[in-house]
């Protein structure tokens, strides 16, 4: 828990692909490193795919509803993160040449803080659910490897 009594998402998380329902490219492994110091939240993501490709993404937000700007594959992404009780809701919009995408990611902790669920119930990824579990500390080396 943070000092405000809200969940603290800090940690190294690995997706349980058997419990997750992911849209898009088939993932082989997903690791997420989160540094959460309320209201600041930094998220680094490493994804490897079954076709052998790898991708790294990074995002920084504040959880107070203020606008944050990030980039996804070179495209600007505007984000606002806010608390809804003990759930963090992260709303983003990203314009491409063809359309604007809207994402509304709902984060929650369970299992005494050992499971992080990231759900998209009603956005352009509707139905996607990422179930992440605490990863062993040694998995963090992936974030310090050269890209």
* Residue 143 counted as domain residue: no
Q: For residue 37, how far is the Cα from the chain centroid?
A: 16
Q: What one-character-per-residue DSSP string does 38-55 give?
A: TTEEEEEEEEEETTS-EE
* Residue 1 counted as domain residue: no
* Residue 67 counted as domain residue: yes
* Residue 145 counted as domain residue: no
Of the candidates 108, 103, 112, 58, which has an alpha carbon nearest to the alpha carbon of residue 83?
108
Of the candidates 96, 122, 124, 88, which has an alpha carbon nearest to the alpha carbon of residue 1?
88
Placement of tokens 């890209």 in the chain: 147
* 82 C-beta neighbours (distance < 10 Å), count: 16
Q: Encode pLDDT of 72-100 as tens digits.
A: 888 999 999 999 999 999 999 999 999 99
- Compute the distance between CA of residue 55 and CA of residue 49 in angstroms, rounded to an integer: 8
pLDDT tier for residue 5 given thresholds of 50, 70 and 90: confident
CATH number for the domain that contains residue 130: 2.40.128.20
| Sign for the pseudo-dihedral over CA of 36, 31, 135, 89 | positive
* Residue 5 counted as domain residue: no
* Residue 117 counted as domain residue: yes
pLDDT at 146 (0 to 100):
64
* Residue 97 counted as domain residue: yes
- Compute the distance between CA of residue 62 and CA of residue 14 in angstroms, rounded to an integer: 23
pLDDT at 67 (0 to 100):
97
Domain count, the chain: 1
pLDDT at 106 (0 to 100):
98
| Cross-strand bridge partners of residue 29 | 48
8 Å CB contact between 12 and 140? yes
pLDDT at 141 (0 to 100):
87
Q: What is the pTM of this model?
A: 0.92
* Residue 141 counted as domain residue: no
pLDDT at 53 (0 to 100):
96
Q: Encode pLDDT of 9-32 as tens digits.
A: 999 999 999 999 999 899 999 999
- Compute the distance between CA of residue 42 and CA of residue 26 in angstroms, rounded to an integer: 25
Range of the domain at 27: 11-134
């Amino acid at each position: 828990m943070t000092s405000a009594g809200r969940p603290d998402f800090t940690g190294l998380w690995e997706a349980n692909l058997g419990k997750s329902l992911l849209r898009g490219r088939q993932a082989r492994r997903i690791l997420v490193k989160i540094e959460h110091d309320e209201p600041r939240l930094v998220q680094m993501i490493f994804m490897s795919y079954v076709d052998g490709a790898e991708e790294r993404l990074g995002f920084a937000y504040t959880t107070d509803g203020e606008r944050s700007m990030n980039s996804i594959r070179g495209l600007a992404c505007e984000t606002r993160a806010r608390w809804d009780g003990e759930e963090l809701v992260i709303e983003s919009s990203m314009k491409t040449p063809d359309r604007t995408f809207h994402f509304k990611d709902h984060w929650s902790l369970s299992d005494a803080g050992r499971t992080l669920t990231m759900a998209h119930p009603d956005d352009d990824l509707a139905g996607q659910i990422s179930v992440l579990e605490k990863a062993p500390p040694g998995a963090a080396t992936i974030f310090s490897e050269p890209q």
